Structure formats: structure tokens, C-alpha cells
Structure 1
Amino acid sequence: MKKLINDPKNVVTEAVAGFEAAHSDLIRVSQEPLFIVRKDAPVRGKVGIVSGGGSGHEPLHGGFVGIGMLDAAVPGPVFTSPTPDPILAATKAVDGGAGVLHIVKNYTGDVLNFETAADLASLDDIEVRTVITNDDVAVKDSLYTAGRRGVAGTVLVEKIAGAAAELGGDLQAVTAVAEKVNARVRSMGVALTPCVVPHAGEPSFVLAEDEIEIGIGIHGEPGRSRIPLEPADAVVDRLLQPILEDLPPASGDRVLLFVNGMGGTPQIELYILFRRAAEVLTGMGVVVARSLVGNYTTSLDMQGASISVLQLDDELITLWDAPVQTSALRWGR
């Protein structure tokens, strides 16, 4: 294993300290318990939005803390959920009196620990709503979940719900928007290589040089099938098929097309994938009205990518276009 780290035990705390040093204009960090919060939190009268989960998926979630997106993110150990204590502390830190929304990826540890934190927050008279993201169409259940996994589509939920909160929506309205996005987005991923977890020091699974895994999870969970390496266009077609079968768009529908890198895939390859996915959708009469391409929900150093398709309407387009100022997404200001 070759990694630019010191002690594997300190990877998360040292990375978060570096993140704070690099982006102190946007965020501040609590080290004990560990969470990242927007610099001006709590914002009085605004719904607070908190997300989090195991580290190793950066910039998810800390990279999306800031104006127009998350108010706080709670990083756990690599690929391991944070405990309820820092989630509760983050919830309190962003409570501006209008309630707090938890956006939680559908992994068992995350769901249980955020639920516990929400229960504890209610004892302090903080109203908490929860939206569980489950956009992955690869499998119904996995080693980590009951039901579908929450993967790259979570970024879209966080951005759009964050915009709704920034524009003054109440807790019920912001929760409804987050649920709407989750209901309209589907994702599917592929791995060319496994990732190496720092404290493990070895690949999370084994792929032969000529194999790829279709339907991989963001922790290296097994997918739908292991097949010989194919050209990029064929891989895109395999990823799009279950997405379009599960939530078929009609001719004339508008979508946001999101091609996400898993951490070790260069932009040049991601744009090759986007080209083909846009070609397929356009050929169906679907309008690719908005786009996002890059490494936003990663799996450490995994080579691979995922495709997400979000069905848009006027409300979602307006909220997507709304200003955002975070370290990983920034426009409109």
C-alpha cells in the first residue's frame, strides 16, 4: 500500500484539520466531538441541514458544507458511521429555531445512529426530520443495508434541499423537497479496481486485470455482475439500462445527468462516459437540461464511476440553479 498518510489511525482527524485550514472562510471544525459546520451557523430562523457518514467518500459530505447546501457534516471513521454523540452535537450547532433536517444514506449504521441522535435532540426541543437516500438501483439489499443503498444521488438531494432551506422554506417544505429529489433520482456504478482502506492496508475486494464490477457500492460492496472489461460506451449502456427501466423518462422530459468519479478516475474518462449517456438520453427524446461531472461521491482511490439521472421540473431546476458556496460546489455568488 502506498498512501500519503502518517498513522492510519489519524487519517480522518488530520484530513479534517487540513480541510479546516484550507477552507476557514467557509467552515469551522469541532474536534471533540468531530463535526464540520458552516462558519455562520446557526442561522436564526433557517432550517438546519445535517448529513454525514463514514469518511473516504470526499468531498461528500464535508465538501458540501456552506451557504446553499449543508449546515453541518459529521465524518465517521473510514467507511464507518459516526456515533450519535457528534451527530447530536452537530444538530444542536445548526439549530436556528426552525428545526433540522437529517439527510442520511441508507446504510444500517448511519440510519440507526442518526435516528438515535434525532431522538436525543427531541429531548432538547429540537424538531428533527429525516430523509433517507436510496438511489442505487444495483441491488435491493446489500451487506450494509436493508433496501437500496444511498450513493451519489445524495449530492443532488443535499444541494436542492439546501437551496430550499436557504430561500426560507420551513421544515416541512424542505423535507418534502428532499423526498421529492430522492424519489426522482436513480444511480448505478462500476468499479475497475478496488479501493484500499488505510487501516486495512489491502484491497477491499479482488478484480482481475481484465475484469470490472457492475453495480458496485461506494464501500466496495459487490454489484450485479463481474464481467470482462468493455469499451466505455458499452459500460455506459449497462449502467443506464437499470436506471431507465426503474424510472423510465418520457420523450420531452428534462433531466439532470450526473457522472460521478469514484476517486481514481480522471476527468477525461468521466467526460467520455457523459458523452455516451447524453447521447442515449437525447436519442430517447429526453432533454439533458442540467449536468454535473466530477469526483463528488468517491470510494477512496477506487477507479470507477457512477451515473445518476434526476428527473427535473421547474421547481427543481430553480433550486439546482440557486447560489451555492461550498468548497466542492460553488456558483451563483
Structure 2
Amino acid sequence: MATMKQVAERAGVSISTVSHVINNTRVVSDDVRRRVLGIIDEMRYIPSAVARSLKNDKTNTIGVLVPNSSNPYFAELIRWIEDAAFQLGYNIILCNAHGGAQKQTANLRLLMEKRIDGLVLVASGADDEQDLLLRRETVPVVQLERALPGLHADLVQAGQEEGGYAATRHLIELGHRDIACVSGPADLPRTRERVGGFMRAMAEAGLTLAPDRIVHDEFTSAGGHAAFTRLLARSRRPTAVFVTSDLMALGGLCAAGAAAVRVPAQLSVVGYDDIAAARYALPPLTTVAPPKHDMAWLAIELLADRIRGGHAPLRHAALASALVVRASTAPPQ
């Protein structure tokens, strides 16, 4: 691998001149600049990002901490985060918090050691050690989807409760009265908020909600399959189900097929997240679509402003989700 010293010797200039050409920190004649850039290209010299960061006190790198990048919803969100960061001149370092608070804190320490310029926390869980670390560091932070208690940082989110409400209202307006809810673990904020919207819509419509009509499992296709299997095994089946995750809903559609329950003729199903697979399900899944693209862009724009030294008041941006009606919902028969 070529070094700056070798480039300088080959171009017949000083090492400092090569540095000025690379970093554009001093006027260099056009002839010298072209000669140095030609040698850099010929020798395939790659400037040291570490050395440049030490000099400029910037790495042009943003850390992104997500719960689980294998989840299609988070994968799609990461795609837009990376796209926005790239267009604003930043690279990202992605870390998964899947595995609990200990891994989440370890990844946070790693990102700080990498001298990131800013941090995006995506649906991050609360942890005492992590909270202490975030308060001690001066790196700018933007929270995406979920606010950590006591952390003073910009927040970008889509209304989870409102999305659950809109999904349930859609089923009620179709004429459904016996509506169940399949959701992830009850202790997760995302579950509480989305289920909260479901319960508000049911209460406003004066509909009684039996305790066995809310079924919890893991936020996975397997979890959705297991929850639907239990729900459909009961003597009295609902006519519609609001599912707080498309992944769970896809598993639920498989379980309905295995139980010879036709969707939507015998059971309407609404999901949440509008992952790419939802539109190709059989039948295509009606779902709540958070504005993933807009959320990612706004988060990166806010973070970039903080990195540049912006001192605007902390912002809490609540973006609206949209109900996407497809073929998995219909009036009850």
C-alpha cells in the first residue's frame, strides 16, 4: 500500500504539499495539483481516514444503533438512513443491539471509540449504563422512533398510537365488531402504543373487548404464526385482526391458511410497518405505513446540523403514518 511519503517522492514535492492537495488546505499551483493527483491515482494511494480525523477533529462518520437489522422494517429504515447520510457527506457504522442491554452498551462504547461525529439511536431501549455513557459523551445524538427518559436529544418518530387507531378504525368502518389484536411482547413501548390505539378505537366505537382477544408473542413471523394458531383454535373466532407488525401478520396469514380460514372472506387482517413483503403476501396485506424515508432524512438532517454546531432548540418531530388498503380486508360476511 502506497504512503504519502512515496507519493511526495514520486511527484517531486514535499509531504506537506501532498497533504495540502488532498485536504485543500493551502493554495497549490494547478500544475503541481494535477501532478500530485495523477501520482495518487497511479499509485492508488488512499489517504488515512484516521490521520485526517485527528487533524480535522472530524471523521465524517455517523454511528447507527438499531435493535435488529435483520428485521425488514429496520433494514428498510437503515437503507434510507445510509442514503441520506451519504448524500450529506457521511458514512455510517451500523451496530445491532439485538441481545440485550449489555450488547447495546458495548456497541455504544465501540462507536465512541471510532470517533463518530454523531449518533442515531433507533428504537433504543433504556439502560442505566448506556444512559450514563450518553450523558458523559458530547457527541450529538438524534433519537429515531423512541425517546429515552432523561436524554436531551432531538427526536423523530411516527405516531404509533395513531397508527393503531387508524388500522382499527378501518376494520370498524368495514362493519367488523369482533376484532382481535395480535402483538409483540407486552412490555415493549411499541406494543403498548400500537395496542393503545387499537383499544382507543374499540372504546370510542362502544365495542366490548374480551381479555382473550389480545394475544402477545414475539415480533417475528414465527411469533405471529403461533399467536394466530392460538387465536383461531378458540371456539369463537374473531372476524378481523389488527396485527402490530407485518412480520407477525405474514406468519398469521400462513396460520390462517393452515386452519382453512379464508382471508379476507372469513377473516380480515391489518398489519403495521408496510415492509416490502407486505405487498406480495397472499392476499396483499393492508397495513399502516410509517414514513420511513422522511423519518430517516429528517433524523440525518437534524444530526448534521448538530454536528456543524447548530444550537436550535431540541426538536420533537412527529410524522404521520398512512393506512395502505390492500386485499386482506373486507366487510364481514
Using the size of structure 1 for normalisation, the TM-score is: 0.34
Greater gyration radius: 2
TM-score for both structures, normalised by structure 2: 0.34
Higher strand proportion, which one? Answer: 1
